[in-house]
Amino acid sequence: MKYVLMFVDTEQFAADLAAMDNADRERAYARVQQWFADHHDKITHHGHLMPPDTATTLRLDRGEALVTDGPFVEGKEVVSGYAEIEVADLDEALRVAKLWPACPVVEIRPLAS
């Protein structure tokens, strides 16, 4: 089955990352690189999103298309990236996601087949 792991950042996580010195930040990035390397046989594609202040939202259900600045939900937890994985079942997806070394929340959704 295919699942999308949505990586969710929290304000605390962003603050912790910002407070790190360069060496620590390098190490944090290296752990993420390692995670991708460890699971490369299961990851079908992945991406890292620019921060939410770069988002533009378009609403198409109000007559004229409405363009607004920012993400469609304003919240303290924002999706910052995703990885699509192909694994046998939810338990295997959970196993992969549990090893994720960065942001503190991961939402796992099956991809509609």
> Where on the chain is the footprint of another protein (CB under 8 A)?
1, 3, 88-91, 93-95, 110
Q: Please, what is the minimum distance in Å from the beta carbon of residue 111 to another protein?
A: 10
Q: Which two tokens stand for residue 35?
A: 């995670």
Question: d(Cα 113, Cα 111) in Å, to the nearest integer?
Answer: 6
Q: Please, what is the minimum distance in Å from the beta carbon of residue 100 to another protein?
A: 16
Q: Please, what is the minimum distance in Å from the beta carbon of residue 91 to another protein?
A: 5
Distant-in-sequence, close-in-space partners of 60: CB < 8 Å, separation ≥ 6: 66
Cβ closer to another protein: 104 or 110? Answer: 110
Cβ closer to another protein: 1 or 30? Answer: 1
In the chain, at which residue ranges do the beta strands (DSSP E only) sit?
2-10, 43-48, 56-59, 66-69, 77-86, 105-110
Cβ closer to another protein: 22 or 113? Answer: 113
